[in-house]
Every structure is written in structure tokens, then in C-alpha cells.
Amino acid sequence: MRNPFPPANLVLLRNLNAWLQTSGASDRTIKLWDPTTGALQQTLGDHDGTVNSIAFSQDGRWLASGSSDRTIKLWDPATGVLLKSLDGHEYLVSSVAFSQDGRWLASGSDDKTIKLWDPTTGVLQQTLEGHDLRVNSVVFSHDGRLLASGSFDGTIKLWDPVAGVLQQTLEGHNDWVMSVAFSQDGRWLASGSDDKGIKLWDPTTDALQQTLDGHDRQVNSVAFSQDGRWLASGSSDKTIKLWDPTTGALQQTLVTQGTIHQLKFTKDGPNLVTDLEPFALSSLYGREAPIQTQSRNEVYIFNKEWVALQGKKILWLPLPIAQHVQ
């Protein structure tokens, strides 16, 4: 049986430009880390099951966690205080996401539903039904007008969160949909799947725009940069791929030390954070031409700062030398 959940979840607190990582969800806790020092700041523990998903509200006021104990918990990340426990799902909660304005908290579940909550009161506002299998990923468009859900039934559904109405069902993947993401401007909706592919959709017309192939194993996470220039995909093939969403061209492949389960771009753009390690992408922002993809069996220069062998950083290049690297 394939395990749909990562051993740890990564989230990005955008307003602080910070990244935090859970301890490894199987211990039923959430650990908050200082992104600068790496010091442990908080350990939050009140779930009775595995923590499958965590999300910050845009203003940093709330941290939501979804668990195999079928609950969503709302925390104050500054104090670590549990504010509310939201009950209503019949099976495990697989994904949680806030709308940009903080009006909604969405939760996807193994019970095939999405629930919309008012995070201020904790009151359930809507239950959205339509998927045939687990809802594995939920995300709001940045204007809050659409909610996208990706499911193990292989479809992506677009919902009107205010009316609670299904707007469209997007079909095209041949296996589980693992992750969905909107671009900041709403031009694109990306989906990553267990079929190894990424699909780019136009959420205004529901048309499939691009199918991006290149990963050798399932795509676990997709994310857009803040300016919409790049789409990142993380996979069980131990790579991150960076794509131009306009042309569908592969721009760069980063070899990692393990499976990538979660990734996000930082607010300022040139950095990508994952559940394994952060990556500096300044080279992409400094040039327009595609960067040559590297083989794991080659010696190559990584981000103009490291000499890498078989995907491992083995030698750091001091600045006077790095400046001459092409």
C-alpha cells in the first residue's frame, strides 16, 4: 500500500518569510522551529493521531493542524495555546488550508468531503461533497473566489466557497492527485499526481494548458513562485524540477538527498524551502536561459556555490572563485 502522507510537513509563514517543519507527524506533535537559528521554539501536542497537514493563516494569527484523529485544531503559534478543536469529519483529515483573507479554513478528508470552517468562531459553514475517494489536497485561489481540491479519485474539483457549489471537475490524471496549487495572479492551477505528471489548467476556462513530464516517480508537491515565473515540483524520484509555466519548458532539476514531500517558495522569490532543506535559486532569477539539467552521476556546480557529486554537495566555493563560475 502506498503511503500518501509524508513523515513531516513543511509550511511557510509568508508574512515573516519563515519556514517551519513538523517533527515527523507520527509522534502526534507539531514542532515550530526558528528558521534562522534552527532552534526549537514550540512543541504542540493535543492530537490523538498522526498529524497529516498543517497551515498558517496569512497574517500568522492561526496555525491549523489536521490529524488522523479526525479533528482540526487551531493554535496560537506565538504562545502555543490550543484555541479550538473542530470536529465533524468521519475519517482522518488529510489536508488543511486557509483563504488569503482568513475568512475560511478548508479541510479535506478520507471521508471524501471538504469542510469549510469559520476560524474565528470554529463553526462549520459548508460541507462539500462530490469526490469518490480521499480528498488529499485543498487550496484557495488568492482572491478567495475558488477552492480547488485534489483527490485520490484522480480528479481536481473547483468550488465556489461562498455558495458551496461545485463549479467544475477537471479530469486528465491517471492516478491519485497528490497536490494542487494556484498561481498568485490566478492564471494557473497546477496539479501533481501519482502518475508522475504535472498538469497546468486555466481555472477561468477549466481548460488543460500543459502537461509537464519528466519525473520518474510520483509528484508529491507543486508550488508557484510569488511572481508566477516558476513552478516547482517535488517528487519521490529525489528531485525538484523547476518549470516555466508559460511555455511548459523545464528550466532546472535539483537533485535532493531523499523524497520531497512538501515544498514552497519564500515570499521574496529566490528561495525554495522543502521538508528536507532550503535551496537558493538566485541563479534562476539572474538569467533567462534555461539551466542545464544535471545527471546524478556527474560532477557539477550547484547554484554557483557548491561542487556536487552524484547529487551531494562536496566542496563549497568561496566567493572570489564562485564569481567566476559560469
Q: Is the pLDDT of residue 14 over 60?
A: no
What's residue 294's pLDDT?
40
The answer to whether residues 55 and 113 belong to one domain is yes
Residues 309 and 266 in one domain: no
* Number of Cβ within a 10 Å radius of residue 124: 14
pLDDT at 67: 93
- Where do we find the cell 458551496? 164
Residue 189 and residue 325 in one domain: no
The model's pLDDT over 45-64, given as tens digits with 9 standing for 90+, comes to: 889 998 888 899 988 899 99
* Half-sphere exposure for 91 (CA within 13 Å, toward CB): 12
Does residue 118 sit within a domain?
A: yes
Residues 182 and 321 in one domain: no
Quick check: is 169 in a domain? yes
| 0.85 surpassed by pTM | no
Q: Does the structure show a pLDDT above 90 at 103? A: yes
Residue with cell 517535488: 234
How many domains are contained in the chain? Answer: 2
The mean pLDDT value of the chain amounts to 82
222 in the same domain as 182: yes
Question: Is residue 3 assigned to a domain?
Answer: no
The per-type count for the chain, helices as H runs and strands as E runs, is 2, 30
Which three three-digit cell numbers place residue 25?
507527524
- Pick the range with the lowest mean pLDDT from 136-150, 166-180, 183-197, 304-318: 304-318
Does an H or E element contain 319, and which?
helix 319-322
CATH number of residue 61's parent domain:
2.130.10.10
The pLDDT, as a whole number, for residue 320 is: 41
Does some domain include residue 15? yes
- pLDDT at position 66 over 60: yes
| Cα dist from 25 to 63, 129, 264, 318, whole Å | 15, 27, 19, 38
The answer on 238 and 315 residing in a single domain is: no
Instruction: Kindly state whether residues 203 and 71 are assigned to the same domain.
Output: yes
219 part of a folded domain: yes
Q: Which domain holds residue 124?
A: 10-296
Q: Are 113 and 124 in contact (CB under 8 A)?
A: no
Answer yes or no: do 105 and 207 share one domain: yes
Among 232-236, 255-259, 272-276, which stretch is predicted with the lowest mean pLDDT? 272-276
Write the CB contacts of 321 (distance below 8 Å, at least 6 apart in sequence): none
Percent of the chain with pLDDT over 70: 76
134 & 261 share domain = yes
Assigned domain for 1 exists:
no
Q: Answer yes or no: do 202 and 249 share one domain.
A: yes
Q: Give yes or no: residues 232 and 323 share one domain.
A: no
Of 183, 190, 149, nearest to 167 (Cα)? 149
Q: CA–CA separation, 174 vs 310, rounded Å?
A: 31
Count CB atoms within 10 A of the CB of residue 53: 26
Question: Helical H runs in 190-262?
Answer: none
**Does a structural domain hold residue 4?**
no
276 and 306 co-located in one domain = no
Structural domain contains residue 306? yes
Residues in the chain, how many? 326
